[in-house]
Structure 1
Amino acid sequence: MGWLTMSRHAMGGHATAKAYLDDQFTYSRDVEGGTAGLKVLASSCLQNRTYYAAAQVITNGVGGEVFAIICKVLWNPHSKTGEQFGYKDMSESMGPYEDNCPQNILDLLTPTQSEYALDWRRRCAENLKRRARKIEDGDRIKLAAAITFTDGHVGDEFIVQKRGRKLSFRDPEGHCRYRISRFMDLAWDVVPRTKVHKTLFA
């Protein structure tokens, strides 16, 4: 499915992309033999760029399968063209590239046989695991692949300098500090520290 764009006026009074999409994917329609629809159980719209939702199939008022809906989002409240909002929706069974779904949404999904959906859920879980890794000030880390910086330095090992939530990385052989974008998404390991024990004499 392609992109659907609109003005804020066309969003039916919804103030955010998340609120509009929650409403779009929660509905009930009359069908032969009763009603059919969807209900959004939980959703998130990370940085107004990607919307993730756990949507439950509702048949004649009874809840059934729960699957993931993913939408790429365009959000530009100050658009001069009048198209402040746009989205492109996909289901997990389409194997979307976006794979940063929050854990609380993944936990609501029911089992599936779709290989694309299973692969998407696996990728989301791996990303969550990477972002949950702990790192402390002074840790020495080794990247799976070396990075080339704008000053020409090429390196794969750095000393972590942590100030609150901000991270910088010092070259172990010098004093230069660097920023590494999307660091928690990269493959890296903490280099074990060698501990020197004191010698005790009887």
Structure 2
Amino acid sequence: MGWLYMSRGSLGGHASASAYLDAQFTYERQVEAGGTSGLRVLASACPRNRVYYAAAQVMNGGVGGEIFAIVCLVRWNPQDREGLIFGYKDLTEYMGPYEADCPARILDLLTETDNQHALDWRRRCRANLERRSRRLNDGDTIRMAQTVTFTDGHIGTEFVVERRGRRIVLRDPVSQRGYRITRLMERDWSLVPMTRIHKTLFA
């Protein structure tokens, strides 16, 4: 499916992209053979109004079944000149979306699957969560898995961490110049073990 854009008046009174999509993916319809079928959103998130993640449960006759992930690319711009403030493109985990920052509380709700695209997507989401859960302390040294080239021409792989509140500055261990690496916690790096020298105590 391609992108679908709409004005505020088409949002049905919903104040956010997340609220609108929750309503879109929660529905119940009559089926020809009798009974009903539909979906129910159990949990959702739309970080920074960029990507919407949801755990949706298949409903048949009011009974809940499989729970799978819905992923929507989102464009939210209340200041759009043409008034098309909201656009989205919907996918499911079975399509193997590139976006893989689904929160753990949503992943934990999904039922088992043997779909390889979905399994790969879930693995990537878990790996990203693990990367972001790492902790860096002031004075730590990290080694990037790949060489990083900066705008001043510096090329490096090892950096000393300097914490300034929530900000992290990476200093070259030789020149002491400070650098920033975007989305650092999502990149591949490892901590360099620190060599500690213990004092010798004499009796």
Q: TM-score, normalised by structure 1?
A: 0.98
Residue 145 of structure 1: CA displacement? 1.0
**What residue is the counterpart of 1:8 in the other structure?**
8
1:65-84 equivalences in 2 (<5 Å): 65-84=66-85
Residue 33 of structure 1: CA displacement? 2.0
**What residue is the counterpart of 1:113 in the other structure?**
114
**What residue is the counterpart of 1:64 in the other structure?**
65
Residue 44 of structure 1: CA displacement? 0.1
**Correspondence 1:29 to 2:29:** yes
**What residue is the counterpart of 1:95 in the other structure?**
96
| More divergent stretch after superposition (12-21 vs 192-201) | 192-201
Which amino acid counterpart does residue 14 of structure 2 have in structure 1? H
Q: Deviations over 1:145-181 (max 9, x none)?
A: 1111111111111100011211001110022101111
In structure 1, the gaps of 5 or more residues are none
**What residue is the counterpart of 2:56 in the other structure?**
55
**What residue is the counterpart of 1:159 in the other structure?**
160
CA distance in 2, matches of 1:175, 1:144: 21
SS class of match (2:46)? strand
CA distance in 2, matches of 1:93, 1:175: 47
Q: Deviations over 1:94-136 (max 9, x none)?
A: 1111100000000000001111000000000000001011110
CA distance in 2, matches of 1:194, 1:97: 40
Q: Deviations over 1:64-103 (max 9, x none)?
A: 0000000000101011112110100001001111100000
Q: Percent identity?
A: 61
Which amino acid counterpart does residue 202 of structure 2 have in structure 1? F
C-alpha RMSD of the superposition:
0.7
Which amino acid counterpart does residue 44 of structure 2 have in structure 1? S
Which amino acid counterpart does residue 24 of structure 1 have in structure 2? Q
Residue 201 of structure 1: CA displacement? 1.4
**What residue is the counterpart of 1:199 in the other structure?**
200
CA distance in 2, matches of 1:200, 1:133: 35
In structure 2, the gaps of 5 or more residues are none
Which amino acid counterpart does residue 189 of structure 1 have in structure 2? S
1:114-153 equivalences in 2 (<5 Å): 114-153=115-154
**What residue is the counterpart of 1:178 in the other structure?**
179
* Structure 1 runs of 4+ with >4 Å offset: none
Which amino acid counterpart does residue 68 of structure 2 have in structure 1? F
Say how many residue pairs are matched.
202
